């Protein structure tokens, strides 16, 4: 196992690069900075020259975003830690692709966790290509959203249309698919709402549940309104959501 990690910084803001560079030099001597770039074109050249193991990548840059850099690679040959100002849409897409991000101004604690995760992937020679591909598809609103889950040591991508329902369980959610598979993910229902958006077939019907309107077998007319899923599972629709949900079901 190599003791050092070769890395580059990609950020159009010089001050941001200086801050992150200082943090790395003071607290993470195992990270060997081999270069910096201030735009996508220069970053692409630098990566092909230096072959870094890790790239700290700013998302918001002029002309082309950090996502455009990743699209230049058929197979991303490095680990990525995104660095961004507050951008809820991008953050949700990154989180649901099981990738790491740092909010500016960068905190040492968050940086430590992200580097540790990157180090593990580098040492085990596991790449984040599946997650990165999912991220790039997710940020294109024309594509169906997918959720990254773990099945043992394997990464699985669940299409939103294959998810029958999602149940909240404290700080976690339990996803049930159309094949009956169940996965636990450390997210809130609100995170799913924000990530999936208004065009998704998955709708929040209650503070504890989201259901796929295409997987509904039927529903009761009375009050309370209860929907039955194709697998027989039943959910009660919150009164304030009843009109909205029934309109979507009837489409």
Residue ranges of domains in the chain: 5-138, 146-250
How are beta strands 182-185 and 172-177 bridged, if at all?
antiparallel
What 3-state DSSP class applies to 68?
Answer: helix
> What's the pLDDT band for 2 if we cut at 50, 70, 90?
low
Instruction: Select from 2.40.50.1020, 3.40.50.300, 2.60.40.4070, 3.30.70.270 the CATH code of 146-250.
Output: 2.40.50.1020
Six-digit token string for 82: 């995104």
What 3-state DSSP class applies to 205?
Answer: strand
Omega before residue 224 within 30° of 0, cis = yes
Class of domain 5-138: alpha beta
**Does the pTM of the predicted model rise above 0.75?**
no
Please name the residues in contact with 85: beta carbons below 8 A apart, sequence gap of 6 or more: 60, 103, 104
Which stretch of 22-31, 38-47, 58-67, 241-250 has the lowest confidence by average pLDDT? Answer: 241-250
């Amino acid at each position: 196992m190599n003791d050092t990690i070769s890395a580059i910084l990609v950020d159009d803001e010089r001050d941001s690069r200086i801050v992150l560079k200082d943090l790395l030099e003071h607290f993470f001597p195992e990270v060997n900075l081999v270069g910096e770039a201030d735009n996508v074109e220069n970053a692409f050249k630098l990566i092909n020259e230096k072959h870094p193991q890790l790239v700290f990548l700013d998302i918001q840059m002029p002309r082309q975003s950090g996502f455009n850099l990743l699209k230049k690679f058929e197979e991303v040959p490095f680990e990525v830690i995104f660095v961004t100002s507050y951008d809820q849409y991008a953050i949700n897409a990154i989180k649901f692709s099981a990738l790491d991000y740092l909010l500016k101004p960068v905190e040492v604690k968050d940086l430590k966790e992200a580097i540790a995760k990157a180090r593990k992937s580098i040492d085990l020679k596991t790449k984040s290509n599946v997650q990165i591909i999912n991220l790039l598809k997710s940020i294109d609103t024309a594509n169906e959203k997918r959720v990254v889950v773990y099945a043992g040591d394997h990464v699985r991508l669940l299409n939103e249309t294959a998810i029958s329902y999602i149940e909240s369980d404290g700080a976690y959610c339990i996803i049930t698919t159309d094949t009956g598979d169940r996965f636990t993910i450390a997210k809130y229902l609100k995170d799913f709402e924000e990530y999936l958006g208004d065009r998704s077939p998955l709708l929040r019907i209650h503070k504890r549940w989201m259901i796929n309107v295409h997987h509904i077998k039927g529903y009761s007319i009375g009050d309370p309104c209860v929907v039955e899923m194709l697998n027989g599972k039943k959910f009660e629709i919150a009164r304030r959501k009843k009109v909205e949900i029934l309109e979507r079901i009837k489409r």
